[in-house]
C-alpha cells in the first residue's frame, strides 16, 4: 500500500517537473522565435504544447478577471458587477474558440486527428502578445496616466498577434505559396470579423 502511494507521489513529481520544463521551453521559444514555435506546434503529435497553451489561456482569464473586478468596482452594483465580470471572462474563451473553429473548418488538412488541438494551441500562441498587453494594462488600475505607455503597446501587440495568425494559418494549411496563405488569412479574418460584429450587439468584443 505504501509503495503505491510512493509511486503515485513520484509520478506527480515527475509530471510537475516535465510540465515546468515544457512551460519554460514554450515561453523561451515564443520570445526567441515565435514563427518557429508555431511551425513546431503544427507538427506536434502529442498534447505537450496544448497543455502549456491552456495554462497561458488561464493566465489571460485571470488577468481579465482582475481588470474587470477593479475597473468596474465603483461603477456597478454587486449583481451588475458579477454579470459584467462573467461577460468579460467569456471574451478570451470566445476569441480563442471562434478563431480556432474558423481556421479548423476551412483547413484542407483537418482530417489529421491532431489538427484541431494544434489549431487551438496555435491560436492561443498567437494571442500571447495581447495577453502581455492585458497584463501591462493593469498599470492603469494604479494610475490612469499609464495609458500613455500601455495604449501604444496594446496596438503594437494587436498588430503582432495578427501577423502571427497569418503564420499560424500558413503552417496549419501547409501552404508554401505566400499568395495562397494570404488569401486564406484574409478569409479567416473576414469571417472572424463578421462574428465580432454579431457579438458586439451583445456588448461582447472579441480580440
pTM of the prediction?
Answer: 0.88
Kindly tell me if the per-residue pLDDT of 70 is higher than 70.
yes
Asked if residue 168 lies in contact with residue 123, where contact means CB atoms within 8 angstroms, the answer is yes
pLDDT at 12 over 70: no
Residue 2 clears pLDDT 70, i.e. is over it: no
Q: Which of 206, 207, 203 is nearest to 84 (CA)?
A: 203
Which candidate, 182, 189, 168, places its Cα nearest to that of 115? 168
Place of cell 520544463: 21
pLDDT category of residue 175 using cuts at 50, 70 and 90: confident
Provide mean pLDDT across the span 94-109: 93
Amino acid at each position: 500500500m505504501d509503495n503505491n502511494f510512493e509511486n503515485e507521489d513520484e509520478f506527480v513529481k515527475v509530471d510537475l517537473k516535465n510540465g515546468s520544463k515544457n512551460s519554460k521551453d514554450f515561453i523561451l521559444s515564443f520570445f526567441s522565435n515565435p514563427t518557429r514555435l508555431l511551425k513546431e506546434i503544427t507538427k506536434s503529435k502529442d498534447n505537450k504544447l496544448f497543455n502549456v497553451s491552456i495554462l497561458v489561456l488561464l493566465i489571460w482569464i485571470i488577468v481579465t478577471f482582475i481588470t474587470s473586478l477593479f475597473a468596474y468596482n465603483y461603477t456597478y452594483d454587486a449583481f451588475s458587477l458579477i454579470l459584467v465580470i462573467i461577460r468579460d471572462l467569456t471574451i478570451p474563451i470566445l476569441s480563442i474558440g471562434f478563431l480556432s473553429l474558423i481556421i479548423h473548418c476551412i483547413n484542407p488538412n483537418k482530417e489529421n486527428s491532431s489538427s484541431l488541438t494544434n489549431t487551438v494551441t496555435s491560436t492561443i500562441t498567437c494571442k500571447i502578445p495581447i495577453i502581455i498587453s492585458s497584463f501591462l494594462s493593469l498599470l492603469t488600475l494604479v494610475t490612469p496616466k499609464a495609458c500613455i505607455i500601455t495604449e501604444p503597446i496594446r496596438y503594437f501587440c494587436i498588430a503582432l498577434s495578427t501577423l502571427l495568425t497569418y503564420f499560424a494559418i500558413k503552417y496549419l494549411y501547409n501552404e508554401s505559396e505566400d499568395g495562397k496563405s494570404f488569401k486564406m488569412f484574409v478569409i479567416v479574418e473576414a469571417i472572424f470579423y463578421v462574428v465580432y460584429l454579431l457579438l458586439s450587439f451583445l456588448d461582447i468584443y472579441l480580440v
